[in-house]
A and B are shown apart, each in its own frame.
Chain A
Amino acid sequence: MAEKRQRYQNRIELLQGTLDLLILQTLQWGAQHGYGISVAIRNRSGELLQVDTGSLYPALHRLEKQKWIAAEWRISENKQRAKFYRLTATGKKQLTRERSKWAQLSDAIAGVLQPEE
């Protein structure tokens, strides 16, 4: 191993809201099944965010219960049957809300971390 990797442990208690945001965002680019979502998040975060399936699936089912995503069974590219999730209209609105919340939060944290002037 050449580099030391920072493996960011994704704990469901701390980042439940954030995980929802990531999932909704991922689905904005098209319907995807659970495995695909976890791969997408891992890739787009540069291998930093490895979503553990123990958090992913409960989150997916929770979002489905809230009617922000909808599910249907389809055949995937490799001819396998999988449960595909897609964003709903209310889900899109929720995504916008989550994004602005995240922006506010990161501004707030940045403000605190700013050195004293």
Chain B
Amino acid sequence: MSFWRRKKREAELDEEVRSHLQLSAQERAERGEKKEEAERAARREFGNVELLKEVTRDQWGWRWLREVAADARFGLRMLWKNPGFTVVAVLTLALGIGANAALFSVVKAVLLNSLPYREPNRLVTLAEGDRETRDPIKVSYGAAEDWKARSKSFQSIALYKGWTPTSTGEETPQIVYGLRVTQNFFPTLGVRPTIGRSILPEDDRPDRWHIVLLSRGYWMRRFAGNPKVIGTSISLDQTPFEIVGILPENFQSLSFNDEGGTPDVWAPLGYDLSLPEAGRTWQHLQSVARLKDGVRVEQARAEMSTIAGQLAREFPKDYAPDLQVKVTPLHESWYGKVQSALWMLLGATAFVLLIACANVASLLLAKAESKHREVALRAALGASRARIVRQLLTESALVSLLGGTGGTLLAVWGTQLLVSWGPQEIPRLSEVRLDASILIFTLVVSVTTGMLTGIVPALRGAHVDQREALQQSSRSLVGVSSGRFRNLLVIAEVGLAFVLAAGSGLLTKSFVRAVSVNPGFDAQNLYTTNFALFGPKYANDKAVVRFEREALERIRSLPGVEAAGITSTTPSGGGFDQAGFQIQDRLIPDTQVPSVDRYEVSPDYFRAMGIPLKRGRLLTEADAAGASPVAVISEMTAREMWPNEDPIGKRIQLGGRHEDRPWAEIVGIVGDVHQYGLDSPATPQAYLLYSHWVFTRPCVVIRSRLNTQTLTREVESQLRALDKNVPTWNPAPMGEILSGSLARRRFTTGLFSCFGFLAVLLAAIGIYGVMAYQVAQRTGEIGIRMALGAQRRDVLKMVMSGGGRLVSLGMGFGLCGAVGLGRLLQSQLYGVSPNDPQTLGGVVILVMLVALFACFAPTRRATRVDPVVALRYE
């Protein structure tokens, strides 16, 4: 039914009715009645014009739609007329819905979106470990070969490792992040290059692996998307690599460990099977595998655990007796760590939305009460109860749809904020965007909110005794039962807000505890940067050591530098290097020996880092220049390996027992450091000299009060002076690295606390609203009481006790909820028990203060009631 045709029909119907009346009146007049008499008689005979029009309109069809449209128009007009109510309600809902939508878009991108590979739910990661390993992620080449030979669950098993070559040929030498992968890596993932070709089996050989694939991003950045670059070569680590292919834009590469950036280059693994690393004891690769069709993850797990048992028995020298193979679905290994945090945050936003709904429902109830006369009139005019309920529901639906629109706008802004604040560890954060599913989600949430908030006020509002309502009395008639429901709402709000506030308190306390953990070194005025030595010039150990020594001397001679050292691994930097700890006079097979964190350092490292010496002595330049190796261990290592003896003087080897090589003598014991982040426990550590265990990618640590830019510039210039092809990367103050290790915790805590604050604010508004309303309703009663002799104090007590009762009940429920929440949050807490009485007590006081503040204005108004005015108003 088109709009204009309907208008025309309406006009015609009007005219038809008018002409009927005229004709009827005319006929009566002809029969002798007076003109006004005739007209009145004609109208009376005609009957109820409006009812006739309604019934006629029904004949035209689309009645339901017309009614909804009429309700909507009326609702909008009502909202426009009450700007105060509308603004508060829409804003409240917009906040609640917006927070939910923003967070849901993050959850969707990170957790729910399927990974951009072919049939991603068939992909798993494999890792070796034993009972001692905290979090197995690595495999050895030998182990992978064993699995390939014996397992029947997998279509293909691919291996990869990190690779950070230096690219020369641009202005300055640049570090590029990349991966070395087996030739079945891309087929396993189901990814094909958009231009050029992928890695062929004949490329994956130790002598012929100098080809490379580029990511689209790197191709655009460095070569401006020039397709002719295929076939040309780039120089990586001073070796020419032929560019053979470009990968698609949406390709999300797996990354190695948690360190480094996103990979931009891929080269074949080209594994040299003659090297010791190819054995079964060097776990330095990562693996991704595709399950065969029809094989479930549990079946693969069972098979692998059987195979692990077989391998441990057949190769006791290579495998620990309790060897385990961890099979994890790929998406789980990607986001397993952030999963619980994200769901927890989503739960918090749901709470906030519930509180917002309660507030708006309360407002709607108040409005419904004030409209009882209008509703009674409608009922008298013939509206059925269902129709009235529908009309009231339409209003709340309008409010929530408007709120949803506002919420969507807020969510746009909110998602951008979340993405820019989000720590790097949350994978796929860059994929977060508002798309159709988010909009549908927002729509569903808005409509549900509308139903939730509106159903009770609508049902109550429609239930009105017509006769009483139409009388002139101004007293509220919906009275007790509605008030009780509003009290219930307040109790619920206070409870929910309490739970969120308690959660925020626990998380904040955990964060504060984590931040104040002593990392084991002095992070103040500490600066780090990395450089790399590559190419044939540094294939010789002596050359590397000489460069590193000279570089250190130059850096130390800079004005403002107090101390400088180098290390192979930075604490809390995300990387790690573990090695088996062999003691000379204890014969333990390599497979069962405990692991420690291994560091190769310069003598001045400890002074530069501020790691305290506990016993014995530190390493010296003489040691470095000498032939016999020495070592320093951490306190924890000393305690665990030599509980009753003095470790000083004992001899050790790290990374495998080799009787033909020299043993390092322990000369000192230093304090523990936190290698895996401030909120992880300390682990046993051992330090060797950089001159005896040579590494080509050192991290330089400098103690200095100079600022980062100056230091970066100076260090770079010193290194360039020695060799202009040496790249530096990742310059950062140590404080930044430490806080980066807590980034996820900070993000979760901050966000949760925001929601907690929002919840408390909304609950306070709710309390204020209900109290103000109650006081307004009881103005007459207060007037009578005061006229009968009640003092201001008594009125105060009366009002406050009412409010106090609600808040206490709410807090009671909140406490129970908080205890439950604590249990749920346990994985996120650090150093704080879930039922920490200090936190809970603090939240109780906070909520009481907030409630007091919220009740303040209405209470004051109550005590200022002038009994004369109140009674007269009656």
Chain A window 16-59, contacts with chain B (Cβ cutoff 8 Å), 1 for yes, 0 for no: 00000000000000000111100100000000000011100110
The interface residues of chain A lying within 8 Å CB-to-CB of B58 are 58
Nearest residue, chain B, Cβ from A34: B20
Q: Write the nearest CB–CB distance from B8 to chain A, whole angstroms.
A: 12
Which residue in B16, B24, B46, B55 is a CB contact (below 8 Å) of A58?
B55
The interface residues of chain A lying within 8 Å CB-to-CB of B51 are 54
Given contacts A54-B48, A54-B55, A83-B12, contact A61 B60 (CB under 8 A): yes
Which residue in B17, B26, B48, B52 is a CB contact (below 8 Å) of A78?
B26
Q: For the complex, give the distance between the alpha carbons of A35 and B25 in Å.
A: 11
Chain B, range 27-53, C-beta contacts under 8 Å to A: 27, 45-48, 51-52
Q: Write the nearest CB–CB distance from B21 to chain A, whole angstroms.
A: 8
| A53 and B59 contact, CB distance less than 8 A | no
Q: For the complex, give the distance between the alpha carbons of A62 and B61 in Å.
A: 10
Chain B, range 74-93, C-beta contacts under 8 Å to A: none
Q: Does A65 contact B (CB under 8 A)?
A: yes
Which residue in A33, A57, A78 is a CB contact (below 8 Å) of B56?
A57
| A65 and B59 contact, CB distance less than 8 A | yes
The interface residues of chain A lying within 8 Å CB-to-CB of B23 are 33, 35-36, 76, 78, 80, 82
Q: Does A67 contact B (CB under 8 A)?
A: no
Q: Write the nearest CB–CB distance from A31 to chain B, whole angstroms.
A: 14
Given contacts A61-B60, A83-B12, A83-B15, contact A53 B55 (CB under 8 A): no
| A53 and B20 contact, CB distance less than 8 A | yes
The interface residues of chain B lying within 8 Å CB-to-CB of A34 are 16, 20
Q: Does B253 contact A (CB under 8 A)?
A: no
Q: Does B22 contact A (CB under 8 A)?
A: yes
The interface residues of chain A lying within 8 Å CB-to-CB of B17 are 57
| B59 and A35 contact, CB distance less than 8 A | no
Q: For the complex, give the distance between the alpha carbons of A83 and B14 in Å.
A: 11
Which residue in A53, A65, A80 is a CB contact (below 8 Å) of B47?
A53
Please count how many residues in chain B sit with their CB below 8 Å of the partner chain's CB atoms.
Answer: 23
Given contacts A58-B58, A61-B59, A78-B26, contact A53 B52 (CB under 8 A): yes
Q: For the complex, give the distance between the alpha carbons of A82 and B58 in Å.
A: 22
Nearest residue, chain B, Cβ from A59: B59
Q: Does B448 contact A (CB under 8 A)?
A: no
Chain A window 72-107, contacts with chain B (Cβ cutoff 8 Å), 1 for yes, 0 for no: 010010101111000000000000000000000000
Q: Does B19 contact A (CB under 8 A)?
A: yes
Nearest residue, chain B, Cβ from A77: B23
Q: For the complex, give the distance between the alpha carbons of A62 and B55 in Å.
A: 11
Which residue in B15, B24, B27, B52 is a CB contact (below 8 Å) of A57?
B52
The interface residues of chain A lying within 8 Å CB-to-CB of B16 are 34, 57, 82-83
| A83 and B19 contact, CB distance less than 8 A | yes
The interface residues of chain A lying within 8 Å CB-to-CB of B13 are 57
Q: Write the nearest CB–CB distance from A70 to chain B, whole angstroms.
A: 14
Interface of A is mostly: helix
Q: Write the nearest CB–CB distance from B347 to chain A, whole angstroms.
A: 55
| A82 and B19 contact, CB distance less than 8 A | yes
Please count how many residues in chain A sit with their CB below 8 Å of the partner chain's CB atoms.
Answer: 20
Q: For the complex, give the distance between the alpha carbons of A65 and B23 in Å.
A: 25
Q: For the complex, give the distance between the alpha carbons of A22 and B13 in Å.
A: 22
- Count chain B CB atoms within 10 A of each CB in A57, A65, A76 and give the residue with the most: A57
| B47 and A62 contact, CB distance less than 8 A | no
Q: For the complex, give the distance between the alpha carbons of A52 and B51 in Å.
A: 12
| B47 and A54 contact, CB distance less than 8 A | yes
The interface residues of chain B lying within 8 Å CB-to-CB of A82 are 16, 19-20, 23
Q: For the complex, give the distance between the alpha carbons of A60 and B22 in Å.
A: 19
The interface residues of chain A lying within 8 Å CB-to-CB of B55 are 54, 57-58
Q: Write the nearest CB–CB distance from A60 to chain B, whole angstroms.
A: 8
Q: For the complex, give the distance between the alpha carbons of A54 and B55 in Å.
A: 8
Which residue in A39, A54, A65, A80 is a CB contact (below 8 Å) of B19?
A80
Which residue in B24, B47, B56 is a CB contact (below 8 Å) of A52?
B47
Q: For the complex, give the distance between the alpha carbons of A65 and B55 in Å.
A: 14
Nearest residue, chain B, Cβ from A65: B59
| A33 and B19 contact, CB distance less than 8 A | yes
Which residue in A35, A61, A62, A65 is a CB contact (below 8 Å) of B20?
A35
The interface residues of chain B lying within 8 Å CB-to-CB of A57 are 13, 16-17, 52, 55-56
Q: Write the nearest CB–CB distance from A69 to chain B, whole angstroms.
A: 13
Q: For the complex, give the distance between the alpha carbons of A37 and B58 in Å.
A: 22
Nearest residue, chain A, Cβ from B46: A53
Which residue in B12, B26, B52 is a CB contact (below 8 Å) of A54?
B52
Q: For the complex, give the distance between the alpha carbons of A74 and B59 in Å.
A: 23
Q: Write the nearest CB–CB distance from B494 to chain A, whole angstroms.
A: 55
Nearest residue, chain B, Cβ from A81: B19
Q: For the complex, give the distance between the alpha carbons of A39 and B27 in Å.
A: 10
The interface residues of chain A lying within 8 Å CB-to-CB of B12 are 73, 83
The interface residues of chain B lying within 8 Å CB-to-CB of A54 are 47-48, 51-52, 55
The interface residues of chain B lying within 8 Å CB-to-CB of A35 are 19-20, 23-24
Nearest residue, chain A, Cβ from B55: A58
Q: For the complex, give the distance between the alpha carbons of A76 and B27 in Å.
A: 13
The interface residues of chain B lying within 8 Å CB-to-CB of A61 are 56, 59-60
Q: For the complex, give the distance between the alpha carbons of A80 and B27 in Å.
A: 13
Chain B, range 87-107, C-beta contacts under 8 Å to A: none
The interface residues of chain B lying within 8 Å CB-to-CB of A52 are 47
The interface residues of chain B lying within 8 Å CB-to-CB of A83 are 12, 15-16, 19
Nearest residue, chain A, Cβ from B42: A35
| B19 and A62 contact, CB distance less than 8 A | no
Q: For the complex, give the distance between the alpha carbons of A82 and B24 in Å.
A: 12
- Count chain B CB atoms within 10 A of each CB in A33, A54, A78 and give the residue with the most: A54
The interface residues of chain B lying within 8 Å CB-to-CB of A76 are 19, 23
Q: For the complex, give the distance between the alpha carbons of A34 and B55 in Å.
A: 16
The interface residues of chain A lying within 8 Å CB-to-CB of B27 are 39
| B52 and A80 contact, CB distance less than 8 A | no
The interface residues of chain B lying within 8 Å CB-to-CB of A53 are 20, 45-47, 52
Q: For the complex, give the distance between the alpha carbons of A82 and B45 in Å.
A: 19
Q: For the complex, give the distance between the alpha carbons of A80 and B15 in Å.
A: 11
Q: Write the nearest CB–CB distance from A64 to chain B, whole angstroms.
A: 9
Nearest residue, chain A, Cβ from B45: A53
Chain B window 541-574, contacts with chain A (Cβ cutoff 8 Å), 1 for yes, 0 for no: 0000000000000000000000000000000000
Chain B, range 48-72, C-beta contacts under 8 Å to A: 48, 51-52, 55-56, 58-60
Q: For the complex, give the distance between the alpha carbons of A29 and B778 in Å.
A: 71
The interface residues of chain B lying within 8 Å CB-to-CB of A73 are 12
Q: For the complex, give the distance between the alpha carbons of A89 and B473 in Å.
A: 62
The interface residues of chain A lying within 8 Å CB-to-CB of B15 are 81, 83
Nearest residue, chain B, Cβ from A83: B16
Nearest residue, chain A, Cβ from B53: A57
Q: For the complex, give the distance between the alpha carbons of A73 and B23 in Å.
A: 15
Q: For the complex, give the distance between the alpha carbons of A81 and B17 in Å.
A: 11
The interface residues of chain A lying within 8 Å CB-to-CB of B59 are 58, 61-62, 65
The interface residues of chain B lying within 8 Å CB-to-CB of A36 are 23
- Count chain A CB atoms within 10 A of each CB in B12, B48, B51, B52 and give the residue with the most: B52
Closest 6 CB pairs of A and B: A35-B23, A82-B19, A35-B20, A61-B59, A58-B55, A83-B16
12 contacts between A and B (CB under 8 A): A35-B20, A39-B27, A52-B47, A53-B46, A53-B47, A53-B52, A57-B52, A58-B56, A65-B59, A80-B19, A82-B20, A83-B12
6 more A-B contacts (CB under 8 A) besides A33-B19, A54-B52, A58-B52?
Answer: A53-B47, A54-B47, A58-B55, A58-B59, A73-B12, A83-B15
